Amino acid sequence: MQVYQAAERDLPSLVADDSWSAMPGHPVDPALPPAVILDVDETTISNAKFQIAFERPMEQWKLEKWNDEHISDPVPGVVRFVNAAQAAGVTVFFVTNRPCDNRDNGPDPCPQKKDTVRDIGELGISTDEDHVLLAGENGWDRAKIARRKFVAETHRVIMIFGDDLGDFAPCVRISLYGPCTAPASKESRAQLVWEHQELWGRGWYILPGPMHGSWTSFR
């Protein structure tokens, strides 16, 4: 709630400042309409109940089955923030690494997209398939930078929300995705955090994920 309420206070000034962008290094077009990008799991939807209940090891189908059988829980504060952003004329995009997987061998190559729109809708947030971008769609990999740039082609991205460093900056993992040429390390991750210190708390809003995320490879 602290994160989302602080973000709601920042909203009017970041909407009004048409030179502002939360995408470092990306050219700002002041004519573009403002948008915010939120991660889904542990940023918008809380999977805390699933995390407590599921039988280890983690497999994606277990979360999908849980989501089919339960109404999603919001991360506290997110519904009010998204409603405030939309009321202020800000477009809300969800960028998630829920993978596209044709689990049923049906005609839909990515049933997870409809499921994710449904799960977000269960929170009382209005969205649709054009605003929910999954890993594996359109050739997008798990590095979210390509999807952030896709949004930035049509919108001025004023805020980013996530529970993982990878929701904000590329090249935070050992495995190589997108623009990354070397595996991340504790030191390179710390450098990314410090390089962007001006953005934390104004433009970039993190809800640090204590249960899972890219950090678990670097303990």
- State the residues that interact with Mg ion by CB under 5 A: 39, 41-42, 163
In this complex, which beta carbon is closest to Mg ion, that of residue 98 or of residue 156? Answer: 98
Distances in whole angstroms, Cα of residue 214 to Cα of each of 53, 109, 183, 210: 22, 26, 12, 11
- Kindly state the DSSP code that residue 58 receives in the 8-state scheme: P
Q: For residues 105 and 216, which CB has a smaller minimum distance to Mg ion in the complex?
A: 216
Compare residues 42 and 64 and give the one whose CB is closer to Mg ion.
42
Q: How far apart are the C-alpha atoms of 147 and 161, rounded to whole Å? A: 14
Compute the least distance from the CB of residue 161 to Mg ion, in Å: 10
Beta-strand runs (E) in 100-167:
132-135, 156-162
From the CB of 77, what's the least distance to Mg ion, in Å? 15
Distance CA 81, CA 11 (A): 9
CB 27, min distance to Mg ion, A: 28
**34/166 with CB nearer Mg ion:** 166
